[in-house]
Amino acid sequence: MKLIVCGGGTGGHIYPAIAIAEYFKNQDSSTEILYIGGKYGIENKVLKNYDYRFETIDIKGFQRKLSIENIKRVFKTTSSMLKMRKILSKEKPDLVIGTGGYVCGPVVYMAALMKIKTAILEQNVFMGMTNKILSKKVDYIFYGFDEALKRYPFDNAIVSGNPVRTLEFNYDKKTAREELNFSSDEKIILSIGGSGGSQSLNDAIKLFVNYAEKNNIRLIHSCGEAYYDELKEEFIDINYDKFELYPYIKNIGKYMQSADIIICSAGASTLSEVSYFGKPIIAVPKAYTAENHQEYNAKMIEDCGAGYCIKEDILNADILANRVQNILFNQDVFEKMSDNSSKLYKGDACKIIYDALI
């Protein structure tokens, strides 16, 4: 079998594609996999850690205004479509799966035109523009959350949940804490701002450290590589030994399992990983995301009773401390949110996707 997966721009699009590819390969070792990403996306860096053939196309999303740059991007999209026709004609894949990002447009659309079996994964509650276009062409649509199916009840849609890198997340809490040298009884908060970091979350954490120290809470914050050097300088005078600052956490599963509460951006992939471990969530949706999809995701988390949504324009250390206090020091709330978070995880999304397509 020949499989093409595509997804790019953010880790939330890339890692689900990798998880799907790994599952297909594990089911049939003869499966040939080609990953197609954007020419400038972080997938170029991430895929170096995996043994997949990798191709890129030159594609960027359109600006929401008339501009010379948009005209250039029309030509790039056309060029990418032609390149994809050549790649697909050469590869003759049995299946093409897109997991999000502008790169999926030319790849999946051309595959559908060429009558190749196609599928897309809509990870968010609110469907992005690329998937709205592709949804009318593909054979299968997979949703990360039940709420998405309520909004877009296509006949060919299935709620699979979002793929999680289960091989990298195979930790129980006791083992995870032991490997990280954390004690079994300490309270731990993990804060992650997404693959690109979050300025607003970084700003709130600067003062939230004081709350963590006052309450003897271990605080682990992943700030994003672009912000790390600046934040490291700002935190140089902080002597709290239970505060850990990282630009990026590679083995994030171990840290997620160790945590009691997870503060994070509201990307669908991150939320699915958190719910895989059944952790209460404080979701901080990034305001600049396409179609404001993160806010829809975060509101869903709060509506389901799995945590809180704090919008960026009101986020500060005091509000963060208030929400943490309500969860971490109220056992009933903590247990209910943990249970509701677990319910958001649909099970093995990769298996559901595989069984539907094969």
**How far are the Cα atoms of 23, 169, 196, 241, 332 from residue 324, in angstroms, in the given order?**
36, 24, 24, 20, 14
Residues annotated within a binding site: 10-12, 124, 165, 195, 249, 294
Residues at the binding site for UDP-N-acetyl-alpha-D-glucosamine are 10-12, 124, 165, 195, 249, 294
* DSSP letters spanning 148-165: HHHH---TTEEE------
Q: Which residues contact 161 (CB under 8 A, 6 or more apart)?
A: 144, 145, 272, 345, 346, 347, 349, 352
273-289 burial, b if ≥16 CB within 10 A, otherwise e? Answer: bbbbbbbbbbbbbbeeb
In the sheet where 157-159 sits, what is the strand order? 53-57, 32-38, 2-6, 95-98, 117-122, 140-143, 157-159
Do residues 169 and 253 lie in contact, with contact meaning Cβ atoms separated by under 8 Å? yes
Cβ(307)–Cβ(282) under 8 Å?
A: yes
